[in-house]
């Protein structure tokens, strides 16, 4: 326990997001999006077993023995919590610890667009927060829930795998449920939540058709539903929902989504110019009559045009968000280029790829991570 706590303490003090313990490799810490090796020997399978086995809850241990992987949360004093995944792989055993701050950041602290506060003030409908793994979706949703908690009274139910941010009562009553500990699945927990007088339901991940259908139903019933999808871009998120259903159900689902959707917030994390952290770059789609008609008619390929012309409503494309961060000298043109969808719009800002590679090489040397 002392050794694993030494590694976890290093992650917290360095401001890292993840700790990787994989047999056959030295431990690694992800700092500002890049995984750096710790100056430590290569871990054996026994090393990883000794480090993580004592942390695994009994129920998760049974799941691990059956499936070869398991997820759970781990409290690390008052400083942080960790979302943990333990897995078997070709080289033996591995574990990844995702750091979760004990303090929920505010929307202002995250630097998210002000329009998100107005979207969160809706009392019914569906808000999707999407992006790749590690893009900060959980943190954004936690901040949105904290904003609701500060502004109005009600009952907020979260369904997560596992529970990440722990919310304290301000004005709202919280019921936080963990898959595998308090309920068997997102679907069953969401079905139960509809009978638990909720004002807001957070669905940690819409993984299957049944969960998506229930989330849409809840939004139509007058509940504010917030959920995540692992998709890139607003239009792709809408496609993902609709494509989860059979062709015969598609018109019905399109109609439900066109009326219940509030917004799609698609984000990714980009490195700051000073290499001292990351900031979210956010694409925002807000449902209006034009978007609703496109969804209903199956013209999702035209949604990008609506986002581009909807700046007065608070909409913005991902590339627009990146360009604004460059103009504010928050990120470099090179970082924007690598994260952009239409890279041609950023090519004129680059000095040359060789300079980018040299900067990355010197940075690796600068950020060697040492154990205390």
- pLDDT tens column, 167-179: 999 999 999 999 8
Domain of 274 in residue numbering reads as 107-327
Confidence band, pLDDT 50/70/90 cuts, at residue 358: very low
**For residue 365, is pLDDT > 60?**
no
pLDDT one-digit tens code per residue, 3-47: 999 999 999 999 999 999 999 999 999 998 899 999 999 999 999
Whether residues 149 and 294 share a domain: the answer is yes
In the chain, what percentage of residues exceed pLDDT 70? 94
More confident residue, 201 or 32: 201
The distance from CA 120 to its chain's CA centroid, rounded to whole angstroms, is 17
**Across residues 234-256, what is the average pLDDT?**
95
CA–CA distance from 290 to each of 14, 32, 362 (Å)?
46, 38, 49
* Any domain includes 76: yes
> Per the domain annotation, does 372 fall within a domain?
no
pLDDT of 355: 40
pLDDT bucket at 369, cuts 50 / 70 / 90: low
What is the DSSP annotation of 189-234? HHHHHTTS--SEEEES---SHHHHHHHHHHHHTT-EEEEEE--SSH
Q: What is the pLDDT of residues 85-117, one digit of tens each?
A: 999 999 899 999 999 988 899 999 999 999 999
Same structural domain for residues 203 and 62? no
What share of the chain has pLDDT > 90, as a percent?
Answer: 84
Cα angle vertex 102, ends 96, 106, to 5°? 110
Residue 91's pLDDT is: 87
Q: What is the signed CA dihedral for 20, 21, 27, 28, rounded to 10 degrees? A: -10
Res 153 pLDDT > 80:
yes
| Residue 162: cis peptide before it, omega within 30 degrees of 0 | yes
Residue 268: inside a domain = yes
Q: Quick check: is 12 in a domain?
A: yes
Q: Could you tell me if 95 and 28 lie in one domain?
A: yes
CATH at 74: 3.30.450.90
Last residue of a domain, which of 53, 74, 101?
Answer: 101
Predicted local confidence at residue 361, as pLDDT: 40
pLDDT computed for residue 80 by the predictor: 85
**For residue 371, is it within any domain?**
no
Does residue 11 sit in the same domain as residue 38? Answer: yes
Residue with tokens 């928050």: 330
Q: Which residues pair with 82 in a beta bridge?
A: 74, 99
Domain of 135: which CATH number? 3.40.50.300
Q: Are residues 298 and 358 in the same domain?
A: no
| Residue 186 included in any domain | yes
Helix (H, G, I), strand (E, B) or coil at 280: strand
The reported pLDDT for the residue numbered 293 is: 97
Residue 166 lies in a domain: yes
Is 57 inside a domain boundary? Answer: yes
The answer to whether residues 281 and 300 belong to one domain is yes
pLDDT reported for residue 230: 92
Q: How many domains does the chain have?
A: 3
Q: Is the pLDDT of residue 363 over 50?
A: no
Structural domain ending residue among the three candidates 101, 117, 145: 101
Owner of token pair 């952009």: 340
Same domain, 348 and 310: no
Half-sphere exposure of 327 (CA within 13 A, CB side): 6
Looking at the structure, do residues 95 and 116 belong to the same domain, yes or no? no
Residue 249 clears pLDDT 80, i.e. is over it: yes
pLDDT at residue number 102: 85
Q: Is 217's pLDDT higher than 80?
A: yes
Q: Specify the pLDDT at position 351.
A: 66
Residues 37 and 113 in one domain: no
pTM for this one?
A: 0.87
Cβ-based neighbours of 44, under 8 Å, separated by 6 or more: 23, 24, 92
Same domain, 40 and 152: no
pLDDT mean across residues, the chain: 92
Asked if residues 59 and 65 have their Cβ atoms less than 8 Å apart, the reply is no
Q: Are residues 8 and 122 in the same domain?
A: no
Radius of gyration of the chain, Cα coordinates, nearest whole angstrom: 21
pLDDT tens digits, one per residue of 269-325:
999 999 889 999 999 999 999 999 999 999 999 999 999 999 999 999 999 999 999
298 and 250 fall within a common domain: yes
Q: Which long-range contacts (CB under 8 A, 24 or more apart) does 331-340 make?
A: 331/270, 331/271, 331/272, 331/273, 331/279, 331/281, 332/271, 332/273, 334/359, 335/270, 335/271, 335/273, 336/270, 339/268, 339/270, 339/281
Give the total residue count for the chain: 372
Distance CA 328, CA 331 (A): 8
């Amino acid at each position: 326990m002392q050794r694993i706590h030494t590694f976890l303490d290093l992650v917290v003090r360095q401001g890292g997001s993840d700790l990787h313990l994989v047999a056959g490799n030295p431990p690694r810490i992800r700092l500002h999006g890049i995984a750096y090796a710790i100056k430590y020997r290569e871990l054996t399978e026994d090393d990883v077993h000794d480090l993580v086995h004592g942390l695994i809850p009994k129920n998760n241990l049974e799941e691990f023995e059956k499936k070869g992987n398991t997820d759970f949360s781990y409290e690390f004093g008052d400083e942080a919590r960790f979302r943990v995944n333990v897995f078997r792989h070709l080289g033996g055993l591995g574990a990844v610890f995702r750091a979760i701050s004990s303090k929920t950041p505010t929307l202002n602290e995250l630097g998210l667009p002000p329009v998100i506060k107005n979207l969160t003030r809706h009392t019914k409908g569906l808000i999707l927060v999407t992006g790749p793994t590690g893009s900060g979706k959980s943190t954004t949703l936690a901040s949105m829930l904290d904003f609701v908690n500060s502004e109005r009274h009600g009952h907020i139910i979260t369904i997560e795998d596992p529970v990440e941010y722990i919310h304290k009562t301000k004005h709202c009553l919280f019921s936080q449920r963990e898959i595998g500990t308090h309920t068997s699945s997102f679907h069953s927990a969401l079905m139960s939540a509809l009978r638990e007088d909720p004002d807001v339901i957070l669905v940690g991940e819409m993984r299957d058709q049944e969960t998506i259908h229930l989330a849409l139903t809840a939004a139509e019933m007058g509940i504010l539903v917030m959920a995540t999808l692992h998709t890139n871009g607003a239009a792709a998120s809408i496609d993902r929902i609709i494509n989860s259903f059979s062709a015969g159900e598609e018109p019905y689902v399109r109609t439900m989504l066109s009326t219940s959707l509030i917004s799609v917030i698609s984000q990714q994390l980009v490195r700051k110019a000073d290499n001292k952290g990351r900031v979210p770059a956010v694409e925002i789609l807000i449902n209006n009559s034009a978007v609703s008609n496109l969804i209903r008619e199956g013209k999702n390929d035209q949604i990008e045009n609506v986002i581009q012309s909807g700046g007065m409503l608070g909409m913005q494309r991902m590339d627009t968000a990146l360009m604004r961060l460059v103009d504010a000298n928050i990120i470099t043109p090179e970082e924007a280029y690598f994260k952009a969808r239409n890279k041609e719009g950023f090519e004129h800002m680059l000095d040359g790829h060789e300079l980018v590679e040299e900067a990355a090489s010197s940075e690796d040397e600068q950020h060697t991570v040492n154990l205390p």
